[in-house]
Structure 1
């Protein structure tokens, strides 16, 4: 049974979420002390966190930063705010997905299932060490390293990198990446993929590989590899 922590101050919404998600055999925890979220997070030790942006004391972005400083637990943001910068900020802070209020519970459940599957099922599959551009890519550790150093990726970033290098020197459309990563593209903003790819490139730049994830305008992305490699 997966444990889900909901950092949501709307008591009515939280109760509805608890009832609906419990039907899917999830164990749901709420927050009672919004000035001690990290203490309650440590006590619950959840498998996934759902965070509202507008909260008492500190906003959801603050608690996302705090959680990310200590844990790689998957995070989904909820928000009634519709400004694109909220979604961008969420992704930049390391969130795994973003749900706009009001939402249909089938959409939220589908996103939860997809994130949990990526996080906990994906890494249980045997995945051999791959090399790309002379760098060692360790899927199970979410790391890539070469003589220039090493960098750690989020699970979304590693999924994108893995998908592209398995199809090296071939253009992968944005739609194909979205469908593969989130399973159902209608639940995902196109901007979410852009944020994740840009963040992946910045990390690869630290070891001299950023330029090898190419954008093909109007077509998609391609991981390039030297002939015969």
Structure 2
């Protein structure tokens, strides 16, 4: 938990531990990345306003070394902060004040998704000359490799498994946010824009086609 409000920390730790989650909060604001690395978290809860830099900065730093799911918690206005959070690398966003039940549902949905990917017999999806490692969310094509976030990995897996077929926005959103608690076309568009930019690294940017009014299609001959 990268959050500096003691009252929020106290109540959330109590609630999370009821669900048998092991919780670690940042104790040294000068060494956030070291504490993150030492704890090896399965998921990060991130505030925006922090004592040193902000949540966007620390999310970008985490994304340089990890694809761990990140949920933003903020009292700031949903838009444009939610859009910026997702563009930076967050997987979900919740606005304060929120009920613990909603947060737990979001955490469970993300961890369930990550767990189901880890249990897959097929750890690597190979299509044409591209390989997607569903555990590390590493995408390799034509000799180039790019690391995706968990959300980007879900989208890429769906696109690869449905090559040359149009996938509706509704289906994408259902696969990404299984709990249905953070589903907006704006959030989906930001995620797809971020994915499209990363596909440029592996020469697939032009292969991701937008079917206006219908959805998206990954094209390969």
Task: Give the secondary structure class of the aligned counterpart of 1:215.
Answer: strand
Alpha-carbon distance in structure 2 between the residues aligned to 1:41 and 1:132: 34
Mean Cα deviation higher: 116-125 or 6-15: 116-125
Cα pair 1:150 1:207 within 8 Å, conserved: yes
**Structure 2 match to 1:95:** 90
1:44 and 2:32 aligned: no
Residue 146 in 1 paired to residue 141 in 2? yes
Cα pair distance change 1:143/1:71, threshold 3 Å: closer
RMSD of aligned residue pairs (Cα, Å) = 2.1
Report whether the alignment pairs 1:84 with 2:114.
Answer: no
Pairs aligned (count) = 221
Give, in angstroms, the shift of residue 26 of structure 1: 0.6
**1:58-110 Cα deviation digits (max 9, x unpaired):** 22222223323333322111111115232222222222211111212222111
How far the C-alpha of 1:148 sits from its partner, in A, is 5.5
TM-score normalised by length of structure 1 = 0.85
Unaligned runs of 5+ residues in structure 1 are 1-5
The 5-angstrom pairing of residues 64-75 of structure 1 reads 64-75=59-70
1:14-69: CA deviation from partner (whole Å, max 9, x where unpaired): 11111111111111122233333233324433221111101123222222233233
1:129 deviates by 4.2
Q: Which residue of 2 aligns with 1:111?
A: 106
Asked if 1:33 corresponds to 2:28, the answer is: yes
Tell me the residue number matched to 1:201: 196
Give the Cα separation in 2 of the matches to 1:225 and 1:69: 29
Give me the TM-score of the superposition, normalised by structure 2. Answer: 0.88
Which among 17, 24, 34 is matched to residue 22 of structure 1? 17
Q: CA deviation at 1:211?
A: 1.8
Change beyond 3 A, Cα 1:209–1:133: farther
For 2:211, the equivalent position in structure 1 comes to 216
Q: In the aligned structure 2, how far is the partner of 1:58 from the partner of 1:114? A: 29
- Rg (Cα) greater in structure: 1
Deviations along 1:136-170, whole A, 9 cap, x unmatched?
A: 33334423333352322222212111112222232
The CA distance in 2 between the partners of 1:136 and 1:53, in whole Å, is 35
